[in-house]
């Protein structure tokens, strides 16, 4: 499916053997967690604890290029294969209607880039088919993906938010949003 950056490949959480098939389709190492794309802030809160910092950042930068790493919400019951056994989950609200509509219909959606691990990102349906072809069941052709910079990843599971990867949202923008909200942070 197209996203706001590149094409992604995903599966409904409740699909029997869905997560193992997702890892297999990409040749993805089993020790790499997969983020959930969500339809809205409420859906994000159903799987992760939105700390004050996470809520401020989500309200400022979603939908868009921000992935938040959250402590898992009590009762979320996320599969170990999705989180690689961690007590956290990466969550993103993309700036594209397709993955948000799918997440609205089937729930938070485990999605990763639609390419073989270690290969270039797929930017259109033909590139997805070239890499994943018979390994996946369906391609939603939404034309060329916008491409660009990957999401910024911010860990909000602890006391102070910390950047794990700088991407579409700069550290200055993150620091400004948190400072304006009066929240402690160590983002320079």
pLDDT score, position 142: 92
Other Cβ atoms less than 10 A from the Cβ of 160: the count is 14
Residue 10 exposure: Cα atoms within 13 Å on the Cβ side = 26
Q: What is the pLDDT of residues 142-161, one digit of tens each?
A: 999 887 788 999 999 999 99
Give 95's DSSP letter: S
Residue 17 corresponds to which tokens in the numbers above?
């053997």
Closest Cα partner for 56 from 140, 175, 163? 175
Give the pLDDT confidence of 24-82 residue by residue, as tens digits.
Answer: 999 999 999 999 999 999 999 999 999 999 999 999 999 999 999 999 999 898 999 89
As a dihedral over the C-alpha atoms of residue 70, residue 74, residue 76, residue 79, rounded to 10 degrees, the angle is: 80
């Amino acid at each position: 499916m197209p996203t706001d950056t590149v094409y992604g490949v995903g599966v409904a959480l409740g699909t029997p053997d869905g997560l193992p098939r997702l890892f297999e389709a990409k040749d993805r190492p089993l020790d790499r967690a997969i983020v959930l794309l969500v339809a809205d802030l409420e859906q994000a809160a159903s799987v992760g604890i939105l700390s004050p910092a996470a809520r401020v950042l989500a309200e400022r930068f979603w939908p868009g290029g921000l992935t938040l790493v959250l402590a898992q919400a009590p009762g979320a019951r996320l599969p170990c294969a999705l989180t690689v056994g961690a007590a956290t989950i990466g969550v993103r609200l993309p700036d594209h209607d397709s993955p948000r509509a799918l997440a609205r219909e089937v729930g938070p959606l485990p999605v990763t880039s639609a390419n073989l691990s270690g290969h270039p990102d797929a930017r259109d349906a033909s590139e997805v088919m070239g890499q994943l072809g018979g390994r996946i069941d369906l391609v939603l052709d939404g034309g060329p993906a916008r491409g660009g910079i990957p999401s910024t990843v911010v860990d909000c599971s602890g006391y102070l938010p910390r950047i794990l990867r700088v991407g579409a949202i700069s550290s200055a923008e993150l620091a400004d949003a948190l400072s304006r909200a009066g929240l402690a942070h160590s983002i320079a």
